[in-house]
Amino acid sequence: MSNPMAAGGMGGWSMLRSMRSRDEISTHRLQRGVARRIVAFAQPYRRDIVVFLLTVIIAAVIGVATPLLAGDVIDAITRGGSEAAALVIRLALFIAALAVVDAMLSLAQRWYSARIGEGIILDLRTRVYDHVQRMPLQFFTRTQTGALVSRLNNDVMGAQRAFTSTLSGVVSNVIQLVLTAAVMLTLSWKITALSLVLLPVFIIPARRVGRRLADITRESYNLDAKMNATMTERFGVAGALLVKLFGQPDAEAGRFARRAERVRDIGIQSAMYSRTFFVAMLLVASLAQALTYGLGGWLAVTGDVSAGTVVTLALLLTRLYGPLTALSNVRVDVMSALVSFDRVFEVLDLKPTIQERPDAVPVPRGTGTVEFRDVRFRYPSAAEISLASLEEVATLDRTVNEPVLKGVSFRVEPGQMVALVGPSGAGKSTLSMLISRIYDVTDGQVLVGGVDVRDATGESLRDEIGVVTQDSHLFHETIAENLRYAKPDATDDELWAALAGAQVADLVRALPDGLDTTVGERGYRFSGGEKQRIAIARLLLKAPSIVILDEATAHLDSESEAAVQRALSVALTGRTALVIAHRLSTVRDADQILVLDEGRIVERGRHDELVAVGGLYAELYRTQFAVADSPSPYVDATGPEPVVIPTREYVADEALPPAVAN
């Protein structure tokens, strides 16, 4: 007896997979026009898809033809005669030829399937990746990274299956089912009807098993996601340090072990449910085949059908159950593919708020002028820049945010240094992000080199502006690769010159691998000051005419700050600079100081002028330097009691002066 699952197994597993995802796709509402967009997306592969489907159709026809030829072999043997041997040999050779053709078709199917599938994966991934890179910064602050990565992996793979597994499966199963049923009914409608009696006996229990399997599979996915999130957080440098500082490795191991044990238990249950499903399908198909042999044998003995017909029907039966079970869930398979595409399109349809205009003009190189004209700005709401599915919330917040900047106007001349100071939330960092067009103004204009940044080409704007933040990011790559991110064609001599200007060349030369030293995740192999100086070297390599320093020496100790300040003095030479001040001592020599409060410039002028006015700047200055002039804590030689600096009120976002911070 041939194995009834030889052809039907794939259909059974397709059905089982469909059951796992039924609940998930039933709650997803498709956007309009998804099918039309999928067809348009598949246009570049239309020839490959046609050839692929032709191979599927021919293979399905061969699958039905082979049992017919096997029946003819049996009939030739039972009839006997002088021509029987020759006929049997010819039929056997024909069956062998069909087997060779089927094998070649299988290879062709795999090649075209891989070509189409991998091509679609490439197109979708690159488009989504490129699109996401252009999203506003606030999109990344709201989105769960894991959910976004899932769109690039799981959903893209699901969309790819639409053109490989789902499409080929539906076409192959329909053709095979129609041909098989037609041939079987032609040969003997009685045997065909009896062979299908047991089909409901299999499908009804299988659905119940599938629902239970879907539940435990969903729980397994959730636990896997939690374990992945735990590992991502705890294996990062910051997370590992926190665990060690608070002495919780045993508790962490126990928590992880409990989740892993549950995953183990679910794995055992899943394996047993899956095996039960497989065995049930094998048993039912085998029983149906036994009925076919029983009834068919009786009919053959009575002379109603030939022995070859009985064998043909038994073999065809193996190719009937698989397509029937697979097609019973074809809607779920198709919907699964549509949902995957829809979730990818959902990301692609989220329009970036920053887009380069078709008629954009380059910013004049080296002008160094910056001007704000009555600038007003509010951060976009969640509904404007995010997706509920990426935040794992039911609905997005549509509340319109309050303005952060309210009519800000000023001008920075080439080569000037302008300092931005003020309380936390005053809008200092927001203002700097508008210059480099991380965000666009809600109203008013920001001009660089006399060109509205919204009318400028992105490349020229990036070339003109360089930024150093308080926590400059380094990729987990070599020092050279991190530096060349600013200038991909930079020579080693240029890299060393930039490092020397940033006061960090000696440190890099002392490393065993020099420029080829891997900096570690987020640059954690280096101290804060060293990392900042490498970031400044990257800026020097870029050689912008405008430099923005967003609290570039915050959180550094006095020694590191001094080294970074020396590096910054080189970086600012001959350049226009906007400095967001974290220590007022660093801005006393600024050409102009802008004091922001609640989104408005409330004071402007030079240091001495603002101190003399006695306004907010003077208050900030006195508060900070009153603390700075106090003695540092020390232990008196005559006793163990330390002398402590008195507690003073101090502006939240201004770091402590060096004497205290150290």
Q: What is the pLDDT of residues 200-238, one digit of tens each?
A: 766 666 666 666 666 676 667 667 666 766 776 677 666
pLDDT for position 427 = 84
Q: Which helix (H) or strand (E) holds 408?
A: strand 405-412
Cα 432 from Cα 576, distance rounded (Å): 13
Which of the residue ranges 43-47, 207-211, 473-477 has the most confident prediction, judged by mean pLDDT? Answer: 43-47
CA 397 to mean position of chain CA atoms: 23
- 457-488 b/e (C-beta count within 10 Å ≥ 16 → b): eeebbbbbbbbbbbebebeeebbbbbbbebbe
pLDDT for position 411 = 92
Asked if residue 522 has pLDDT above 80, the reply is: no
Residue 574 CA: distances (Å) to CA of 367, 569, 660: 11, 10, 32
Give a three-class secondary structure readout of 441-489.
CCEEEEEECCEEHHHECHHHHHHHEEEEECCCCCCCCEHHHHHCCCCCC
Burial class (CB in 10 A: 0-12, 13-18, 19+), 25: buried
Asked if residue 80 has pLDDT above 80, the reply is: no
Q: What is the pTM of this model?
A: 0.67
Q: What is the pLDDT of residues 134-155, one digit of tens each?
A: 887 778 877 766 667 777 777 7
Topology of the domain covering 5-348: ABC transporter transmembrane region fold (1.20.1560)
Q: Name the pLDDT band for 84 (thresholds 50, 70, 90).
A: confident
Asked if residue 102 has pLDDT above 70, the reply is: yes
Q: Give me the helix-helix angle, 84-133 and 46-79, nearest 10°.
A: 160
CATH class of the structural domain 370-384+398-635: alpha beta
**Dihedral angle, C-alpha 17, 23, 25, 27, nearest 10 °:** 180
Chain position carrying tokens 């959902």: 346
CA nearest to 315, candidates 333, 331, 292: 292
| pLDDT, the chain, mean | 77
Cα 350 from Cα 47, distance rounded (Å): 31
Chain position carrying tokens 């919780």: 248
Beta-carbon neighbour count of residue 343 at 10 Å?
22
SS3 of residue 36 by DSSP: helix
Amino acid at 478: T
Per-domain residue ranges of the chain = 5-348, 370-384+398-635
Backbone angles phi, psi at 96, to 5 degrees: -65, -40
Q: Are 464 and 394 in contact (CB under 8 A)?
A: no
546-550 vs 465-469, strand pairing mode: parallel
Q: Name the pLDDT band for 100 (thresholds 50, 70, 90).
A: very high
SS3 of residue 176 by DSSP: helix
CA nearest to 452, candidates 374, 354, 547, 371: 371
